[in-house]
A = this chain, B = another copy of it.
Amino acid sequence: MEELVPPIPVSSEATITLTTDFGLDDAYVAAMKGVILEINPGATIVDISHSIEPQSIRQGAFVFSTAYAYFPQDTVHLIVVDPGVGSQRRAIIIETDNAIFVAPDNGVLSYVVQAYTGKRSFRATLTKLPPELQAFEITNPKYWRHPVSSTFHGRDIFAPVAAHISLGTPLNELGQAITSVSVFPLPQPQTDATGNLIGHILHIDHFGNLITDVTSQDLPPGEYSIQVAGHQIGSLSHSYEQSQGLLALIGSSGRLEIALKGGNAARLLGSKLGDKLRITRRRTGRNRG
């Protein structure tokens, strides 16, 4: 059979992204890049982030979710936040219309799965994939680096598998088709007794901006005021420049974001992940008087 399929090329210009909790001080990320380039010298490798807090699957999932959609068609995304390395947790591949994702099966692809299912609260930890997503468990050691270290599957399993995918190796060569993958329930705002939306801080970025679990879809057209850490923000701004002091706006990833003009909102407010904020829909001026 194999003689009939076209041969896999030895180099291809595909883009491969890397997201890990390895940091950049050690040479772990570099070892993965070396392994990739040995298999596909033509690969363009792009770092998404290597500053995920060690073993924080949720932060890795979120940071990755803010970038993958901007990459070219058929990009291979490799995410290695893998506290279970060396255990029985599965290693998986998910294929969508636009991209291919390679990661441990620990929920780090939850936002990707949500983008296709539309669901934020998954019924079970193991969720059935919609038909437009193909998934595979990585099981074929032919495409791994040997000997496989029990502490560094990023280098010995994930990197070579991603490189082989970038060359066009059929996914069903790399492992067996599966129909369910692990996810975690994604943070989402609640509605309180008086009808206000209660959101949560999901991420604090480099500028100290507070990114929340409230999306533009959660906010029907209207005027809103926001209470956060004892401060009141009277309305949504259009840009960082528009207001003075503390402000709220829909940020570049489509989420409600609290910022401090020319400063660091997280430092001013002493914010931490999970902190709540209340969004109140205001009566509009037209309704008054």
Q: Which residues of B contact A75 (CB under 8 A)?
A: 34
Complex CA gap A171/B154 in Å reads: 35
Asked if A46 and B34 make an inter-chain contact with CB atoms under 8 angstroms apart, the answer reads yes
Given A34-B71, A252-B152, A23 and B240 contact (CB-CB distance below 8 Å): no
Indicate whether A116 reaches chain B with its CB closer than 8 angstroms. no
Asked if B86 and A239 make an inter-chain contact with CB atoms under 8 angstroms apart, the answer reads yes
Q: Which residues of B contact A38 (CB under 8 A)?
A: 70-73
Asked if B66 and A31 make an inter-chain contact with CB atoms under 8 angstroms apart, the answer reads yes
Q: Which residues of B contact A188 (CB under 8 A)?
A: none
Measured CB to CB, the nearest residue on chain B to A238 is: B150
Choice from B13, B86, B242 contacting A41 with Cβ under 8 Å: B13
Please, could you name 17 A-B residue pairs with CB atoms under 8 Å apart, sorted by A?
A13-B41, A15-B37, A19-B27, A24-B49, A25-B63, A25-B206, A27-B64, A30-B46, A34-B71, A37-B71, A38-B72, A83-B262, A84-B241, A85-B240, A85-B241, A86-B239, A152-B251
Beyond known contacts A17-B30, A26-B49: 6 more, CB 8 A cutoff: A28-B66, A38-B72, A38-B73, A55-B262, A83-B240, A151-B251
